[in-house]
Amino acid sequence: MIRAMSDMDMPDQLDAPEYKPPELKPGAYGPWAAFTGPDYALAALGALLTLAVYLKTVAVTVTGEDSGELAAAAGAAGMVGGQFLDMGAEGQAAPLAALEEIHARKTGALITASVRLGALFGGASEDALRDLTRYGQQLGLLFQITDDILDVVGDSAALGKSVGKDLRSEKATYPAVVGLDMARKMARTAAAAARDALCAFDDRADVFRELPQIIIERDR
């Protein structure tokens, strides 16, 4: 639900005269398509976030620490804060450090929280939680870099959206800041770092070891 919320067009975008919904392949529906107008969009944003927190705290037995993880990752310190930084960097010559902060919060925080929550539910030790946190951070970085790369070289039909949208919006992306070749190198480095973070775990973690390669090779 929080991930779906992050894909919704913000009310100020919906209200802009030049607003045009993103192009999607036939049969694909983004959250924006389900709510027409800024009032409904704003209500939907709030509903998805609060319902996610409700289900996390009521439908599942959790500790206060668990709920704090989710709230921090989704809110101003995480995804929402990253989205604001992302919008503020549009049209700017963002340095790499600023780009890393944007995406550590916008994308990485929620992915890292997902990994950490599973570890907390499973009673992970401090050492295991530290390693899994590093894994989540590197996985989030990898996902964002490949997402940026696909916006440059991807196929619109496979992606379900028009390629080049970030460039047209003058967004701060890894290809825009460091170039396409360096972005690809950074993706491979992040994938290796994610796998290395799991070196202390046995073969039960193999599915997580496979994820970085799956992300690198994805076409959507």
Number of domains composing the chain:
1
- The reply to whether 15 falls in a domain is no
Q: What pLDDT does 15 receive? A: 42
- The reply to whether 150 falls in a domain is yes
Q: What pLDDT does 5 receive? A: 61
CB 16 within 8 A of CB 9: no
Domain that holds residue 160: 62-217
Q: Give the CATH number, domain containing residue 165.
A: 1.10.600.10
- Distance in angstroms (rounded) separating the CA atoms of residues 116 and 69: 8
- The reply to whether 171 falls in a domain is yes
| 21: nearest Cα among 154, 13, 53, 137 | 13
- The reply to whether 24 falls in a domain is no
- The reply to whether 98 falls in a domain is yes
Q: What pLDDT does 70 receive? A: 78
- Measured CA distances, 147 to 117, 124, 140, 187 (Å): 24, 30, 11, 10
- pTM check: above 0.85: no
pLDDT digits (tens, 9 = 90+) for 30-84: 554 454 455 556 656 665 666 666 565 555 555 555 667 877 887 778 887 888 8
- Measured CA distances, 195 to 72, 142, 188, 217, 219 (Å): 25, 12, 11, 15, 21
Q: What pLDDT does 134 receive? A: 98
- What averages of pLDDT result for each successive group of 10 residues across the chain (220 residues)? 60 44 49 52 63 58 63 80 87 93 92 92 93 97 96 82 84 95 97 98 96 93
Phi-psi region of 197 (alpha: psi -120 to 50; beta: other; left: phi over 0): alpha
